[in-house]
Amino acid sequence: MNPSERRNLRNGLLFISPWVIGFLTFCVYPVIKSFYLSLCDYSILSPAVFTGWQNYVELAGDEVFWTAVSNTLFFAVFAIPLGLLLSLALAVLLNANVRGRGVFRTIFFLPSLVPMVCLAVLWQWMLNGDVGLVNEALRVPLNAINSLLGSELRPPNWLSDARYAKWGLIFTMLWGVGNSVVIFLAGLQDVPVHLYESAEMDGANFPQKLWHITLPTISPVIHFNLIMGLIGSFQVFAVPYVMTGGGEGPGRSMLFLATYLYQNAFEFWNMGYACAIGFVMFVIILTLTLLANKLSERHVFYAGK
Amino acid sequence: MPANRSPISFSTLLVYVALGVAAFAFLLPLAWMVSTSLKPLNETMSVPTRWIPSTIRWENYPEAIAEMRYFWRYAANSLWICLLSVIGTVTSSALAAYGFSRIEWRGRDKVFLVLLATMMIPFPVVMVPIYGFFKELGWIGTFKPLWVPAFFASAFNVFLLRQFFLGLPRDISEAARMDGCSEFGIFVRIILPLCKPALLVVALFQFLYSWNDFLGPLIYLTDQRDFTLALGLQSFQSQSGGTAWHHLMAASTLVLLPVIVLFFFTQKSFIQGIATSGSKQ
């Protein structure tokens, strides 16, 4: 290394030193400690006692844990694709040459600014079985069907019905897709116009252009939003927690991995067990992200590569 | 705009209809929240919905504030935590982003990959050891766990700022180096002034994050008077147990209002920043 290289190395490390300290304190140390604690019986009040894989063995036989896993998977499986579809559709609409694009974009973006707790309180009210706005809107088509077929369809009591509670949560989250709308729109605006022009000369229609030009070109953005959705969905906590009044919903239908982790850590003071849940969550997120990256190697198109 | 517009085509009309319906659906919950917050209690329960209350009850707002007991303290706590976090993350993230973009050093890009990878670690995974760490420091029940970490740069903000820093031409740094300016001098006197919009974006994101944060205050704060607005609203909700919806909606509106006001003053930076977060260079 010559002197200028050495100086640059020293300066570079100095500049990133705040992050390095934070990385070691709030990332490396806790991850290692958390893994160690997941192998311990630990209640924070008394020192941790090493118990080996005991916590993981218990998890495997813990019915509540599996409920949390299946609830979390259910939520992710529906919320992520629906969120991507909705935000992409809205972005494509906005990207059409419309007037007032700025106003529409602001309207779609606003709900994503609503703090989690407000979001939960507001949608608890929206989804109220008797007087909620969602059911008032649903009653119109349902009544029409009822009078036509003589059936007795009634809108569900969303959050107090184990079959529908998670759907209520999914709708709530869909309202906050504004972030990805903005990201998608930025991606769409970077699609070179000449690609569309030459496709139009060849007589391509809208679906063809969407499928053969738009989607391949913005595939890196889809990939980004997918990963963000994955990471967010698997740690969903605040909204279901507040919506259920600090609980787990009817028949544990709103108990998610992060909720169960929180309960074990701060309600049962079973912190080693909580760490084990955390590691399972981590492994799931990691596996799915790597899987998404693998898929993207085949399907995502990066300009210039 | 062309002087003689062609008649709107069918497909354009369809786009407008779809956008209009979607915009209506997105605005409705907010409208309903405000409408409920101005109703007398009995009218919140009326079916079909009465959008305009028979009498507009502004009193719901002072009543909700009184019922939350420490509303103004919550607000002050939230603002104080936001302020410290914003200062912390803007300075530390800008420093780190500079080190990752404007100086060439061996191994830099590999270390940056490590930084990106840390974004995938969910907070719940590290929550217990970090809680234990703060407990040993005697910080549980204080604001410190909520703002001190911000002084150690967040990966997302470093990523964002780095994107902006990379966009500035190399020559400006080289010229300053020729003139004998120190690396820190270049950072403070040349790069930072050129990146004010980006710094504003990071400040806004951090403000939003701290204002919205629920899990952090939930585990670290113990005394009700130390609660943030988000946590205070949740505790109000669990006390009033889904009856006084007019007061709950008034309180929610008050918690949301500062965010909306801030957004309208800084809309451009906001949208710009979010659009940048999704772009890979």
pTM greater than the 0.90 cutoff: yes
Average pLDDT across chain A, whole number = 92
* Per-residue pLDDT at B281 exceeds 60: no
Q: Mind listing the pLDDT tens digit for each residue in B233-248?
A: 999 998 876 679 999 9
Q: Are A266 and A276 in contact (CB under 8 A)?
A: no
* Per-residue pLDDT at B3 exceeds 50: no
Bridge partners of residue A49, in order along the sequence: A41
* Residue owning tokens 């002050």: B76
Could you tell me which of A29, A157, A227 has the C-alpha nearest to residue B119?
A227
Least confident window among A85-94, A188-197, B127-136, B257-266: A188-197
Could you tell me which of B26, B260, B274 has the C-alpha nearest to residue A174?
B26
Q: Establish how many alpha carbons lie within 13 A of residue A4's alpha carbon, considering only the half-sphere containing its beta carbon.
A: 3
Which of A11, A30, A120 is closest, CB to CB, to B103?
Answer: A11
Confidence of residue B2 (pLDDT cuts 50, 70, 90): very low
Residues 34-93 (A) with a CB less than 8 A from some CB of B: 34, 37, 44, 90, 93
A266 DSSP assignment:
I
The verdict on a CB contact (< 8 Å) between B33 and A125 is: yes
**How far is the C-alpha of B13 from the C-alpha of B9, rounded, in Å?**
6
**How far is the C-alpha of B17 from the C-alpha of B11, rounded, in Å?**
10
Residues in chain B closer than 8 A to A131 (CB atoms): 44-47, 49
Reduce the DSSP state of residue A40 to 3 states and report it: strand
Q: Is the dihedral of CA A207, A209, A213, A217 positive or negative?
A: negative
Whole-number Cα distances in Å, A146 to A131, A139, A143: 20, 10, 5
Which of B238, B255, B279 is closest, CB to CB, to A115?
Answer: B255
- Which site among A19, A143, A190, A243 would you substitute to test the B interface, given the most B Cβ atoms closer than 10 Å to its Cβ? A19
Q: Mind listing the pLDDT tens digit for each residue in A212-247?
A: 999 998 998 999 899 999 999 999 999 999 999 888
Give the residue ranges of chain A where pLDDT is below 50: 304-305
Q: Are A14 and B99 in contact (CB under 8 A)?
A: yes
Distance (Å) from the alpha carbon of B44 to chain A's nearest alpha carbon: 8
The verdict on a CB contact (< 8 Å) between B214 and A31 is: no
Confidence of residue B7 (pLDDT cuts 50, 70, 90): low
CA-nearest residue to B257 within chain A is A114
Residues 203-262 (A) with a CB less than 8 A from some CB of B: 206, 220-221, 224-225, 231, 234-235, 237-238, 241-242, 245-246, 257-258, 261-262
Least confident window among B46-55, B158-167, B258-267: B46-55
Residues 164-183 (A) with a CB less than 8 A from some CB of B: 175, 179, 182-183
Q: What pLDDT was estimated at residue B6?
A: 56
Length of chain B: 281
Q: What pLDDT was estimated at residue B280?
A: 53
Q: Which residues does B28 contact at the CB level (< 8 Å), separation at least 6? A: A133
**How far is the C-alpha of B60 from the C-alpha of B249, rounded, in Å?**
9
Which of B115, B124, B267 is closest, CB to CB, to A106?
Answer: B267
Q: Establish how many alpha carbons lie within 13 A of residue B261's alpha carbon, considering only the half-sphere containing its beta carbon.
A: 6
The verdict on a CB contact (< 8 Å) between A130 and B47 is: yes
Q: Is the dihedral of CA A206, A208, A214, A220 positive or negative?
A: positive
Could you tell me which of B112, B198, B156, B213 has the C-alpha nearest to residue A227?
B156
This model of the complex carries an ipTM of 0.91
Residues in chain A closer than 8 A to B133 (CB atoms): 25, 29-30
